[in-house]
Amino acid sequence: MVDTDTGLRILENLNTAVLRFDRGLRLNYINPAGEMLFAASAKQITGQTVEELLPHSGQFTAVLRRSYESGNPYTEREVQLILVNQQTITVDCTVTPLNEPHQENGLLMELLQLDRHLRIAREETLLAQYQTTRTLIRGMAHEIKNPLGGLRGAAQLLERELPDPKLKEYTQVIIGEADRLQNLLNRMLGPNTLPYKRLINIHEIVERVYTLLEAEASEGIKITKDYDPSIPEFKADPDQLIQAVLNIARNALQAMEGNGKITLQTRIQRNVAFGQRHHKNIACINVIDDGPGISPKMIENIFYPLITGRAEGTGLGLPIAQSLVNQHGGLIEYSSHPGKTVFTLLLPLETDYEQ
């Protein structure tokens, strides 16, 4: 039998969220993992009923009440819960009614968040996707560029020898198209300059994007800012990051077809692992839109070059943004449903990456 102190210490260090409710199903204990999950401090939410904690998950809270009243424990896997801040999380849940003699009745709830694992798996996939594409494009570009240069050169020589200047029209087509292809290849290869880093404030980047977007957006588009001013300065190439955020935000603008809301949000995330590195502090730029969402047919592939859902799109905006952020040791991840699409730029604060 462990003493109360040890028991409490164990609870406080668990990765599983543990919540205890009293007779009225009001919260009277939550461990730190629970506070993280609900993104609220124990002080803020102690005393709330389950319905107040999970106002959008009526079915789930009804099951809890039934379990409490009947005294039967209850377990469910992969339950989707909607938090007060509208964030959806997936959890494995176990509920145990507490009715020991001489003790106040209550209910114990354990929640193990699954999304975090899903998210990490997805991040690994995004990085792998990016690296495979880059290798593929490098190889292909090399094979195309040499003959293309030869073709262009030959057309130029031919042009000089042409007896009739009218025929130049044709050599000009060859030269023009060769240049267009060369350009496309260069864009597909991504940034060819190393980032020129200096100490910057993340809001320099977001404010600039805000101004550019405001100028481009039609009247029906509302652009809002939601900043965390406490994010410390870090070393980055502002031009490259502006380009990355702009590529993402422009997609949102285009997806919304003249009506809707875009939010530019900055946040800090702590203790995040991706790319086999653990990062203590990560600055995040979220670009959120309430447009129709990414088409399910493309959602897994949008970071591959030339994948586009728009007639006039080249499908390079996102892969370019990904390589720019990658040059900063970061990653872009995303989630999308009709009505809510979020692209997140994750930028590690503590590492001064040079690639």
Ligand X SMILES: Nc1ncnc2c1ncn2[C@@H]1O[C@H](COP(=O)(O)OP(=O)(O)OP(=O)(O)O)[C@@H](O)[C@H]1O
316 makes contact, choosing from Mg ion, ligand X, none, with CB < 5 to 8 Å by partner type, with ligand X
271 makes contact, choosing from Mg ion, ligand X, none, with CB < 5 to 8 Å by partner type, with none
57 makes contact, choosing from Mg ion, ligand X, none, with CB < 5 to 8 Å by partner type, with none
By CB under 6 A, the count of residues binding ligand X is 20
Q: Which is nearer to ligand X, 187 or 197 (CB)?
A: 187
Closest CA to 189 of 246, 142, 234, 147: 142
For every residue of 285-333, which 3-state class applies, written as one string? Answer: EEEEECCCCCCCCCCCCCCCCCCCCCCCCCCCHHHHHHHHHHCCCCEEE
By CB under 5 A, the count of residues binding Mg ion is 2
- At 298, the amino acid letter reads M
Q: In angstroms, what is the minimal distance from the CB of 286 to ligand X?
A: 12
Q: In angstroms, what is the minimal distance from the CB of 256 to Mg ion?
A: 13
Q: Which residues of 124-138 are buried (b: 16+ CB within 10 A; e: fewer)?
A: eebbebbeebbeebe
| Region of 220 on the Ramachandran plot (φ > 0 left; ψ -120 to 50 alpha; else beta) | alpha
314 makes contact, choosing from ligand X, Mg ion, none, with CB < 5 to 8 Å by partner type, with ligand X
Q: Which is nearer to ligand X, 254 or 281 (CB)?
A: 254
Q: In angstroms, what is the minimal distance from the CB of 82 to ligand X?
A: 22
Q: Is 341 in the site for Mg ion (CB under 5 A)?
A: no
Q: Is 212 in the site for ligand X (CB under 6 A)?
A: no
Closest CA to 284 of 294, 295, 274, 276: 274
Q: Is 240 in the site for Mg ion (CB under 5 A)?
A: no
Q: Which stretch binds Mg ion (CB under 5 A): 27-35, 174-182, 248-256, 298-306?
A: 248-256
Closest CA to 69 of 26, 28, 112, 105: 105
CB-facing half-sphere around the CA of 65: CA atoms within 13 A: 11
**Contacts (CB under 6 A) with ligand X, residues 241-270:** 247, 251-252, 255
* Spatial distance between the Cα atoms of 248 and 179, rounded to a whole number of angstroms: 27
φ and ψ of 73, to 5 deg? -65, 165
**Contacts (CB under 6 A) with ligand X, residues 293-332:** 293-294, 302, 307-310, 313-318
Q: In angstroms, what is the minimal distance from the CB of 295 to Mg ion?
A: 14
Q: Is 251 in the site for Mg ion (CB under 5 A)?
A: yes
Torsion angle in degrees (nearest 10) through CA of 130, 133, 138, 142: -160
Residues 6+ apart with CB under 8 A from 205: 236, 238, 241, 242, 245, 285
Binding mask 286-325 for Mg ion (x = CB under 5 A): -------------------------------x--------
The site for Mg ion (CB under 5 A) is made up of 251, 317
Residues of the shown chain interacting with ligand X in the complex, contacts defined by CB under 6 A: 247, 251-252, 255, 289, 291, 293-294, 302, 307-310, 313-318, 341
